[in-house]
A and B are shown apart, each in its own frame.
Chain A
Amino acid sequence: MEPTPDTLNYMLAGYAIFSITFFGYLVNLYLRWQRLRQDEKDLQEQIAAQK
């Protein structure tokens, strides 16, 4: 019977790339939300000042 090959580094690389991509997308969603909330606030102030 052949010994089990050492492929641990590939597994770690796989889960590292998963984490970077997945959590990177979560951060991207959060930052877009925050930017839009700030835009919303600024525009509401601008509209209130125009009245």
Chain B
Amino acid sequence: MSSQPRVLQILNVVSALLLAIAAWMSLSYAPTERVMGAVQRVFYFHVATAWVGMLGFIVAAVAGVLYLVKADLKWDKVGLAAVEISLVFFFIAVVLGSIWARPIWGTWWTWEPRLTTAAILEMVYLAYLLLREGIEDPERRARFGAVYTLLGGISVPVTFVSIRLFRTIHPVVVMGGNPNAQGGFNMETSMLQAMLFSIFAFSVIFATLFWHRLRLGALAEKVEQLKLKALQ
């Protein structure tokens, strides 16, 4: 439990390198967008963090299904780890979007479909963490968590497709355009490369953090067992 597996040690180094390269590509390699200026450069990390945020919520929903099928508490820990990391990344995505919106839309926040569904998504999973704390019985907590993440998982595709289904001012850069968008732009090849590399880098970083968080969960369980043993 104390020393990290060799593969995890390698992943730590790879993740740090990928983050550094993604930052370089976003801040230097990709050209400055002519209409928006430097603030457009937050787009690369905005998309990548939103992607891994949603990925983790989907992982939690799958872990929820597996818990309901197998009734194994390890799936509850998997779901919790995925939600915790995704909350951090999705929070970053929302804040980066808000910072971008200020000079482009002239406001930090507006209740249009994408921002509204994203805010609901973040709140849903924040509530998941808080509500779990109120349940002491591990199996009841796991059952609640499984059903919650399964139902909460519905809000992920809703958030993703909201800019394609509803009338919105949020740009649709990936897979299609939006005639009502304010702040849309034509992506040059180097911009596309920076975006795709950032998505790849953050996917690897997510996997690394997920492994660390699972190890933390296993250690917490071991400490709980030792506490019970010490009381006997």
Contact = CB atoms under 8 A, between A and B. Distances in A.
B227 interface: yes
Contact of B92 (A4, A13, A22, A37): A22
B96 A47 contact: no
Given A7-B39, A11-B41, A43 B92 contact: no
A40 B45 contact: no
A29 B96 contact: no
A2 B42 CA distance: 22
Q: Is the interface of B mostly helix, strand, loop or mixed?
A: helix
A10 B39 contact: yes
Interface residues of A, number: 28
B36 A5 contact: yes
B39 to A, nearest CB: 4
Contacts of B37: 4-8
A17 interface: yes
The 10 closest A-B pairs by CB, nearest first: A7-B39, A14-B42, A43-B226, A7-B37, A10-B39, A11-B38, A8-B38, A14-B99, A5-B37, A7-B103
Interface of A: 2, 4-8, 10-11, 13-15, 17-18, 21-22, 25, 29, 32-33, 36-37, 39-40, 43-44, 46-47, 50
Interface of B: 1-2, 23, 27, 32-42, 45, 49, 85, 88, 91-92, 95-96, 99-100, 102-103, 209, 212-213, 215-216, 219-220, 222-223, 226-227, 229-230
